[in-house]
Amino acid sequence: MLPIIDAHLHLWDTADFVPPWLPEAPSLLRTFTLDDWHASTGFSGDGWQLDRAIYVEIDAAPEDRPRENRQILDRIRKGDSPLAGAVIAADILGADVRRELAPWLGDPGLKGIRHVLHTPASPAGTCLKPEFASNIKRLGELDLAFDACMRQDELGDLASLAEAAPETRIILDHCGNPGPTFLGEGPESSKLAAWCAGLSRLGGCPNVVCKLSGLDLGPNRETVQSGVDYLFDVFGEDRLIWASNYPVCNLGTPLRPWLDAVHGAVAPRGEAALMKVFALNAARVYRIAG
């Protein structure tokens, strides 16, 4: 049995607070729970079981982030759910990220930080600012990972950051957001020249791993094999992590079809590769015991 770790799970309760972007996605404007997550997969398949998950912050309004952090870390500490850790929001542009993280440092559920870099609030070049790089280095000192959600033409900036902070584990969310072109036209498309160049540089950074998440299969399911093979060529089997991006994935390809597609594309590489991509790599990068 393959015990899958979902490395990118969002949960929210709209009766508590609503992230500013959510009204723009009306199909997601409701509460999503762990029961919903389980139900979206049938919980198990042929030789696999959805076992644990990493919660990733939901880009809440700044005033709601402390409450979000407290709620999710308290839930993880109780140990009564599949949640194995959390990536919380933090302002990496502050003078010293340790001050903002002070209430949470030492909490065993804290595994990493995310500062969203693909929205208007983070213009191009944000991650190249000196204070940003300094705080990313501090995350390495704190043994915390950094999740990077980037625009596809700014991956070179992330590579520069990774090169400047080699002791910090950096996780590239959603394959660097190449969009439908990647599974439609393939990486040879001229539309993906900047993405491919940036991805190649990131592949040369041993502290960077890539999440196989956030892509929409659309009508291109037969191209998943070539897409996954390309990412294996760039990162190798030790630096790829499967993730669902549930429930945001419901805007494109839902969790179960995405899991089945990637599982099928990795399976020809054998059981060892499946175990790494679907469990062991996430456990290592996010410091999940057991």
The answer to whether 251 touches 215, Cβ cutoff 8 Å, is no
The torsion defined by the Cα of 13, 16, 21 and 22, in degrees rounded to 10, comes to: 40
Among 175, 165, 176, smallest CA distance to 206 is for 165
Q: How far is it, in rounded angstroms, from Cα 54 to Cα 8?
A: 6
Range of weakest confidence among 41-45, 155-159, 262-266: 41-45
The answer to whether 8 touches 54, Cβ cutoff 8 Å, is yes
Q: What is the pTM of this model?
A: 0.96
Range of weakest confidence among 116-125, 194-203, 210-219, 224-233: 116-125
Q: What is the pLDDT of residues 23-32, one digit of tens each?
A: 999 999 999 9
The CA–CA distances, whole Å, from 157 to 141, 150, 170, 193 equal 21, 9, 13, 15
Start-end of H helices in the chain: 34-39, 65-78, 97-101, 130-141, 155-164, 181-184, 193-203, 224-235, 255-266, 271-275, 281-285
> What count of other Cβ atoms lies within 10 Å of the Cβ of residue 12?
20
The torsion defined by the Cα of 275, 246, 118 and 19, in degrees rounded to 10, comes to: -140
Two tokens, residue 3: 């015990």
User: 24 or 120: which carries more pLDDT confidence?
Assistant: 24
Which residue reads 């429930």 in tokens? 247
> To which CATH superfamily is domain 2-285 assigned?
Metal-dependent hydrolases (3.20.20.140)
The torsion defined by the Cα of 92, 98, 103 and 106, in degrees rounded to 10, comes to: 120
The CA–CA distances, whole Å, from 34 to 38, 50, 107, 219, 245 equal 6, 12, 21, 29, 13
Exposure letters 170-207 (e unless 16+ CB within 10 A, then b): bbbbbbbbbbeebbbeebeeeebeebbebbebbbebeb
Phi, psi of 113 (to 5 degrees): -130, 145
Q: What are the extents of the domains in the chain?
A: 2-285
**Cis amide linkage into residue 130, ω under 30° from 0:** no
pLDDT above 90: residue 178:
yes
- Kindly state the average pLDDT of the residues 222-226: 86
Residues 34, 36, 39, 44, CA torsion sign: negative
Q: What is the pLDDT of residues 192-211, one digit of tens each?
A: 999 999 999 999 999 999 99
pLDDT above 70: residue 45:
no
The torsion defined by the Cα of 157, 163, 168 and 173, in degrees rounded to 10, comes to: 40
Query: For the chain, give me the number of helices (H) and strands (E)?
Result: 11, 9
